[in-house]
Amino acid sequence: MDSSQATPEPVKQPVTLRAGNDELRPTFERLWQLYWHDLSEFRGVVPRPDGTYRSDRLASYFGEPDHHAHLIHHGRDLAGFVLTRRLSEGARSVYAFFVVRALRRRGVGHRAAREMLRLCPGPWAIAFQEENPKAARFWRQLATDAVGAAWREERRPVPPPAPKHLPDDVWILLDTSAAGGPGRNSQSVPGAAQG
């Protein structure tokens, strides 16, 4: 196997989440462009004439109640971000989750997602697109690691303003408080700190 196909070594540095604030908002806005570039493969979204992707939805994570933005760090390095919000049904939802390509497939995203669940125990509803097979594997594995078999999936239409031709989202529904928290089936996240 050549080096381009080798599985990267797992990372040993701590993975932490840092709560976003107005001072950090420009960092989120730059990472948001990378996130949408990656998603464009599955959603068919193209940049605006100025070369950027729309970021109007990002604003709600800096001021609206029950909307939270966290930067993901691997050691001292910026590794990505996660945006969460509370749904009307009471569950927390992941609106966006992004890890830079250099740190993918090394456990950084998994450890960050576990820390996210640890910081907010309780019901979660996590959506992903089935046509993105890496995301599908990632979220299903996370749910199993967090609560064993005590999770389920359902399909829901992609909410507006998304184009109507998009296939339904897959939603994973789980409750980390019912299973004794996300640390039940694996080791705790080393170096996790509240944002």
Domains contained in the chain, CATH given: 15-175 (3.40.630.30)
Q: For 190, how many CA atoms within 13 A lie in the half-sphere containing its CB? A: 8
Token pair in block for residue 105: 């497939």
8 Å CB contact between 71 and 18: yes
Across the range 105-112, mean pLDDT stands at: 93
pLDDT in tens, 139-166: 999 999 999 999 999 999 887 777 777 7
pTM of the predicted model as reported, rounded to 2 decimal places = 0.81
